[in-house]
Chains A and B, each alone.
Chain A
Amino acid sequence: MKGSVTAMPDKLIAVWNALPYMLGGSLVTMGVVAGAMLIGLFGGIPLAVGQVYGKPALKRIIGIYIWFFRGVPLLVLLFLFYFGLFSLLDINLSAFTVAVIVLGLISAAYQSQIFRGSILSLPEGQLKAARALGMSDFKAVHLIVLPQALRLSIPAWSNEYSIVLKDSAVTYALGVAEIMARTHFVATRTYQHLPLYMAAGLIYLVLTYAGTKGLRILESRVRIRGYSHS
Chain B
Amino acid sequence: MESAGFVSISEMEPILRVENVRKRYGKREILKGVSLSIRRGELKVLIGPSGGGKSTFLQCINYLVTPDEGDIWLEGRHIDHTHKRELYRYRQQVGMIFQDFNLFDHLSAVQNIEVSLIHVKRMDRKPARERAMAELERVGLRGHADHYPAQLSGGQKQRVSIARALAMDPKVMLLDEPTSALDPELIGEVLSVIKDLVANGMTMIMATHQIGFSRALADEIVFMEDGRILERGPPLKILSDAKCERTREFCSKITELYGEAD
Contacts and interface: CB of A to CB of B under 8 A. Distances in A.
Given A132-B96, A134-B168, A136-B84, A224 B116 contact: no
Contact of A125 (B102, B116, B150): B102
B64 interface: yes
Interface string A135-148: 11001000110011
A120 B257 CA distance: 36
Contacts of B142: none
Interface stretch (B23-31, B42-50, B87-95, B197-205): B87-95
B106 A139 contact: no
A178 to B, nearest CB: 37
B151 A128 contact: no
B116 A133 contact: yes
Nearest to A137: B84
Nearest to A129: B102
Q: In this complex, which of B106, B115, B165 has the most chain A Cβ atoms within 10 angstroms of its Cβ? A: B106
A20 interface: no
Contact of A128 (B64, B84, B92, B103): B64
Contact of A143 (B62, B115, B150): B115
Contacts of B100: 123, 125
A225 B151 contact: yes
A228 B95 CA distance: 30
A151 interface: yes
A165 B217 CA distance: 65
A153 B116 CA distance: 25
Contact of B102 (A123, A134, A226, A228): A123
Contacts, number: 80
A126 interface: yes
Interface string A30-45: 0000000000000000
Given A131-B64, A134-B168, A143-B115, A125 B98 contact: yes
Nearest to A227: B150
Interface string A186-227: 000000000000000000000000000000000000001111
B148 A226 contact: yes
A147 B148 CA distance: 15
B119 A135 contact: yes
B192 to A, nearest CB: 22
A136 B161 CA distance: 19
B106 A224 contact: yes
Interface string A60-87: 0000000000000000000000000000
Contacts of B104: 126, 129-130, 144, 148
Contact of B120 (A123, A133, A224): A133
B64 A224 contact: no
Contacts of A126: 102-105
A143 B119 contact: yes
Contacts of B147: 226
Contacts of B17: none
Which 5 A-B pairs give the minimum distances between C-beta atoms?
A226-B150, A134-B92, A226-B151, A129-B102, A125-B102
6 contacts: A125-B100, A126-B103, A130-B116, A131-B91, A225-B151, A227-B148
Given A134-B116, A148-B105, 12 more contacts: A125-B98, A128-B59, A129-B104, A129-B161, A132-B94, A133-B116, A133-B120, A133-B168, A134-B88, A134-B120, A135-B120, A228-B150
